[in-house]
Chain A
């Protein structure tokens, strides 16, 4: 059990990154991006492509994958989603739903439905703490990457002009726009950040679990769970949400078997939606 708790915490750091982009878009653009899971898994596939072509470690491919995904997210928001934002709740939601379907099928077409993993040199290494407690290096590295992403994003939002502008838009986009901030550009940057953080999460998850073109929707629900648990746009909340989902998954898998590993997470999520849909950490 201690082992499950440890792995759950380490996994939670990554789950927080799965959710953080979704949380930003939720908080800033007020949109549930149903294609978030596909951006996540697209990151894993891109990394696989570059790691294979250039013969480098998946973590190193982040140098290429992150900017690429940022541009993709920025362009997507600017060219497509910003255009339908004034049309009510449903059109933007359905656009991202359509996008998720398209991306899934594009991945299927290019990479086939075969299960894939990203191979690393440290995937089997462990640090033995005691007889009953082993730290897999893979999980540790993933956790560190996750923590770094959250730290950098937190500093960016707090201390840079662009970050502050994004937060201002999130609080009150009318007031922000009167102060000379371009709301739509802030949305695009936020989406770029969301897609690139999703891709980082995809790469680290890809080194740990097998993935298919369909894996995205499973992690969309994780991301959504993290958002609902943590409250939209809250970084500490996202961390807590990630930890809860990481623990729910590893403990659920240990207690109820792998078929039911997502069940506890889903139940927590539904309960949260019923009792406190604005999240634990929202203002």
Chain B
């Protein structure tokens, strides 16, 4: 580890520790905790979407399928079978990962645009299946009963741990041979394949990891929400929010998804007082960012000031 990396991860560890201790001090209000929970939640989702779109070149518009399936998996495991939440969490992750693995076989041969639409269609199909499925109470939705029910602080710690883990996971992947293969694939897929990079395997791995982590995040999200309905669980709105966060924060940057999640949740919270207009304003901001600063906040800052946080694409500067 270079000195620069030591400093970066040192700061990361300190910030994480402070955030972890924060709810124990009781200094944060319930409202602040809710905001913090959502920031960490979207940081998880955004991190995974960035892994797919920013590094593996897979633009997914179907993240809601993992979130929705996980919400229902949690409800079935915890409410229908009365199992502890940990089991619901694990089942959610595994089911989502298996779904991603299965879809890899079907969808990964498609080029960018077709893949994007195909993921959306699959989500719509899963929504239709769940709406007609007796086990999950058709369109009537399910409640999520977990005993003992974790406090908001505990939920926050859980999602914070996942956010940190997902960040470190993506970093570890990018620093390994996988990252090298992904970079080669992004620059020239044909040349990369010719030099022995197994593109299909790379993409499958990224998609499956994305399914697993997004699934666990979805499970925690629905632990927090307490009930799950097909229309909400499989709504494209999830993906819209995730895409917004990553674009604002900066695609293909390490810290972009976290910054984006921060900006998205705070902005959403601030705009919620302008009911009806808030989504329109969010949409306009997103388009403005794409046109004016397509690299997002972190991408633009890093370009302007010639630095790169948690660099994994080139040797450290020192």
> Could you tell me which A residues sit within 8 Å of B by CB distance?
32, 80, 83-84, 87, 89-91, 93-95, 97-99, 101-102, 105-106, 108-109, 217, 221, 224, 228, 259-260, 262-263, 266-267, 269-270, 273-274, 277
| Closest B residue by C-beta to A228 | B114
Contacts of B283 in A (CB 8 A): 98-99, 101-102, 105
Report Cα–Cα, A95/B236, bound state, in Å: 16
* A259-B290 CB under 8 A given contacts A274-B110, A277-B110: no
* A260-B132 CB under 8 A given contacts A32-B117, A270-B118, A273-B110: yes
User: What string of 1s and 0s marks CB contacts (under 8 Å) between B227-256 and chain A?
Assistant: 000000000100010010001000100000
Contacts of B280 in A (CB 8 A): 102, 105-106, 109
Q: How far is the CB of B238 from chain A (nearest CB, A)?
A: 13
Interchain CB contact under 8 A, A270 and B106: yes
Q: Which of B7-15, B91-99, B120-128, B210-218 contacts A (4 or more CB under 8 A)?
A: B120-128
Using A94-B247, A259-B131 as known contacts, list a sample of 16 further A-B pairs with CB atoms less than 8 Å apart, ordered by residue number in A.
A80-B291, A84-B294, A87-B294, A94-B290, A97-B61, A102-B284, A102-B287, A105-B279, A109-B276, A221-B120, A228-B114, A262-B124, A266-B124, A266-B128, A269-B121, A274-B107
Contacts of B132 in A (CB 8 A): 259-260
Interchain CB contact under 8 A, A32 and B113: yes
Contacts of A274 in B (CB 8 A): 106-107, 109-110
6 smallest CB-CB distances across A and B, nearest first, come from A102-B283, A105-B279, A98-B287, A101-B283, A109-B276, A98-B286
Q: How far is the CB of B230 from chain A (nearest CB, A)?
A: 10
Q: How far is the CB of A22 from chain B (nearest CB, A)?
A: 11
Report Cα–Cα, A94/B294, bound state, in Å: 11
Interchain Cβ contacts under 8 Å between A and B, 28 examples: A80-B291, A84-B294, A91-B290, A94-B247, A94-B286, A98-B284, A101-B286, A102-B280, A102-B283, A105-B283, A106-B280, A109-B277, A221-B120, A221-B124, A259-B131, A259-B132, A260-B132, A262-B124, A262-B128, A263-B128, A266-B125, A266-B128, A269-B121, A270-B118, A270-B125, A273-B117, A274-B107, A274-B110
Report Cα–Cα, A83/B291, bound state, in Å: 8
Report Cα–Cα, A101/B280, bound state, in Å: 7
* A259-B106 CB under 8 A given contacts A93-B113, A277-B111: no
Report Cα–Cα, A161/B109, bound state, in Å: 39
User: What string of 1s and 0s marks CB contacts (under 8 Å) between B38-54 and chain A?
Assistant: 00000000000000010
Query: Does B146 interact with chain A (Cβ within 8 Å)?
Result: no
Contacts of B109 in A (CB 8 A): 274
Interchain CB contact under 8 A, A84 and B276: no
Contacts of B117 in A (CB 8 A): 32, 221, 224, 273
Count, chain B residues at interface, CB 8 A: 39
Count A-B contacts at CB 8 Å.
Answer: 97
| Closest A residue by C-beta to B275 | A109
Interchain CB contact under 8 A, A99 and B287: yes
Query: Does B82 interact with chain A (Cβ within 8 Å)?
Result: no
**Pick from B111, B116, B124, B279: contact of A93, CB under 8 Å:** B116
Report Cα–Cα, A106/B124, bound state, in Å: 23
Contacts of A84 in B (CB 8 A): 290-291, 294
Contacts of A80 in B (CB 8 A): 287, 291
**Pick from B118, B240, B276, B294: contact of A101, CB under 8 Å:** B240
**Pick from A93, A109, A266: contact of B59, CB under 8 Å:** A93
* A90-B236 CB under 8 A given contacts A102-B283, A266-B121, A273-B110: no
Contacts of B290 in A (CB 8 A): 84, 91, 94-95, 98
Query: Does B112 interact with chain A (Cβ within 8 Å)?
Result: yes
Report Cα–Cα, A277/B283, bound state, in Å: 30
Report Cα–Cα, A109/B277, bound state, in Å: 8
Which residues of B, 253-290, contact A by the 8 Å Cβ criterion?
Answer: 276-277, 279-280, 282-284, 286-287, 290
Residue with the highest number of chain A CB atoms closer than 10 Å, among B124, B247, B279, B283: B283
Residue with the highest number of chain A CB atoms closer than 10 Å, among B59, B286, B287, B291: B287
Residue with the highest number of chain A CB atoms closer than 10 Å, among B61, B117, B118, B124: B117
Report Cα–Cα, A80/B236, bound state, in Å: 24
Contacts of A221 in B (CB 8 A): 117, 120-121, 124
Report Cα–Cα, A205/B251, bound state, in Å: 38
Interchain CB contact under 8 A, A89 and B128: no
Contacts of B110 in A (CB 8 A): 273-274, 277
Contacts of A263 in B (CB 8 A): 125, 128
Q: How far is the CB of B272 from chain A (nearest CB, A)?
A: 14
Contacts of A91 in B (CB 8 A): 290, 294
Contacts of A259 in B (CB 8 A): 128, 131-132
Report Cα–Cα, A91/B61, bound state, in Å: 14
Residue with the highest number of chain B CB atoms closer than 10 Å, among A105, A217, A260, A262: A105
Report Cα–Cα, A262/B279, bound state, in Å: 28
Contacts of A93 in B (CB 8 A): 59, 113, 116
Interchain CB contact under 8 A, A97 and B243: yes
Report Cα–Cα, A269/B106, bound state, in Å: 12
Interchain CB contact under 8 A, A270 and B122: yes
